[in-house]
Amino acid sequence: QKEVEQNSGPLSVPEGAIASLNCTYSDRGSQSFFWYRQYSGKSPELIMFIYSNGDKEDGRFTAQLNKASQYVSLLIRDSQPSDSATYLCAVNTGGFKTIFGAGTRLFVKA
């Protein structure tokens, strides 16, 4: 059974701080890695994707991938109350099936 594991949280950070969200996956053949943001009662929305080892930055978001450790992370710099949501880590092994983690709830305190 292919798995994607996330700490459910909640992770609470003060406004302006860096939020660090982590994810591990079990399938070494995984090829693509995604972070989705889901506000309460809403649908998931893609915010970052990464295919290669290393860091990828987009605005306040940085995705980090370490395939040797089977580890993906998302850093949110200058966290805002509007970043409060559940963040879903998702992994694809090259086919049509994307496996999702259960998500980490993030609270940013004003």
Residues lying near another protein in the complex (CB under 8 A): 4, 8, 31-32, 34, 36, 42-46, 49, 51, 88, 90, 92, 94-103
Phi-psi region at 28: left, alpha or beta (left = phi > 0; alpha = psi -120 to 50): alpha
Measured from the CB atom, is 81 or 94 closer to another protein? 94
Measured from the CB atom, is 64 or 86 closer to another protein? 86
CB of 92 to another protein, least distance (A): 5
In 3-state terms, what secondary structure has residue 83?
Answer: helix
List 24's β-bridge partners, or say none.
Answer: 5, 71
CB of 47 to another protein, least distance (A): 10
The whole-angstrom distance between residue 27's C-alpha and the CA centroid of its chain comes to: 17
Measured from the CB atom, is 19 or 48 closer to another protein? 48
CB of 70 to another protein, least distance (A): 17
Burial class for 88, CB neighbours closer than 10 Å (0-12, 13-18, 19+): buried
Measured from the CB atom, is 20 or 92 closer to another protein? 92
**Distance of alpha carbon 101 from alpha carbon 86, whole angstroms:** 11
